[in-house]
Amino acid sequence: MATIRKTKAGTYNVQVRLKGKIQASRNFRTKAQATQWAERKEQAFRHQHPLFLDTGYAYCHEVLDRKPSQRLALNRIDRICQHSQLQKTMDTITLQDVNAFKQARLSEVSKTTCSDEIMMIRRVFRWYITEHHAKSGEMLKNPCDLLTMPKANKPRDRVVTRKELDLLLGAMSPQMAVIVELAYETAMRRGELLKLTPGDLNLSDRFLRVVDGKEGSRDVPLTRRAVELLEAVSEGCAGQGDRLFPMAGYSVTQAVRRAREAVGLSADVRFHQLRHSRITEVARMGLNQLQIMLVSGHRDIRSVQRYSHLNVRDVVNLID
């Protein structure tokens, strides 16, 4: 039986009891959300299988504990469970439910985002089926096994030139311009740049340390121009743990979009394309694959191949 009470903070606390003992408790912003969760939770106890939401959280905390992808996965689980097709217990979600979810998401987001979310559903089910079978001997089916995945979009192969970069920088605020130029000089991801602190920098040896990035922690080699930019920014930080760029990632993306539109560049000129462009430029220098991977931070050579957009003109002078 579930009880709902309003807390002093204005949220609604739900407690679901079974035989007098609290089995689950959670806070919600609205009473409607609390009531829906309580009903689904009570249903889950009757079916002896947890909700997909709770299974997804358990997967993130047990399988992805302390991994850089954990927070991203938790956010993805929350988005998935906003759709009614996945607001069910693990044993009642069918292929038709996941397919209906796919169709709904394709009308809202890109094919790539939809595929990422379906892969998350597949991984959660695979993990739960293994764990549940080990405990009970019951073997559930993965509803994603027979699902047709959305056809992938054509990958962007746009390389931002130095001239286009200069146009972008001229249309941005000084602080945003530093972030964008550093992205071009270092091939770092947006999140990696925005997490930087003075303590991560080793400018005398021309490298910096990325802590808990997408591919884990790594050292990034710096160009002389990148060292100049970081020296100027770090002078304004009071402490070694202060962020060099205390702003939201969305703000940086929007700044690039506004600057791109202001100078008349194509929609393919995006923040992440700066990373592609730098990796391509490094590849054009004739570095081998392992050296390029030190710059890009990739662990798989196939990823480097997707990011380095070379053509015949880039190698014709290297073969003589």
Query: Shortest CA distance to 10 belongs to which of 29, 26, 25?
Result: 29
CB atoms within 10 A of CB 127: 16
Question: Mean pLDDT: which of 150-154, 173-177, 307-311 is highest?
Answer: 173-177
Q: For 82-99, what is each residue's pLDDT tens digit?
A: 999 999 999 899 999 999
Tell me what pLDDT residue 37 has. 85
Fold assignment, 162-314: hpI Integrase; Chain A (1.10.443)
pLDDT level of residue 70 (50, 70, 90 thresholds): confident
Residue 179's pLDDT is: 94
Task: Name the phi and psi angles at 258, rounded to 5.
Answer: -65, -40
The DSSP result for 173-231, as a single string, is -HHHHHHHHHHHHH---HHHHHT--GGGEEGGGTEEEEEEETTEEEEEE--HHHHHHHH
Asked whether the beta carbons of 270 and 303 are under 8 A apart, the reply is no
Looking at residue 311, its pLDDT comes to 62
Q: How many residues make up the chain in this entry?
A: 320
Per-residue pLDDT tens over the stretch 177-227: 999 999 999 989 888 999 999 999 999 999 999 887 777 788 999 999 999
- Give the separation between CA 227 and CA 203, rounded to whole angstroms: 6
Q: Show me where the domains of the chain are located.
A: 1-46, 48-153, 162-314
Domain 48-153, CATH: 1.10.150
Q: Supply the pLDDT for residue 137.
A: 78
Alpha helices for 86-137 (secondary structure H): 95-106, 111-136
Percent of the chain with pLDDT over 90: 43
> How would residue 320 be classed by pLDDT, with cut points 50, 70 and 90?
low
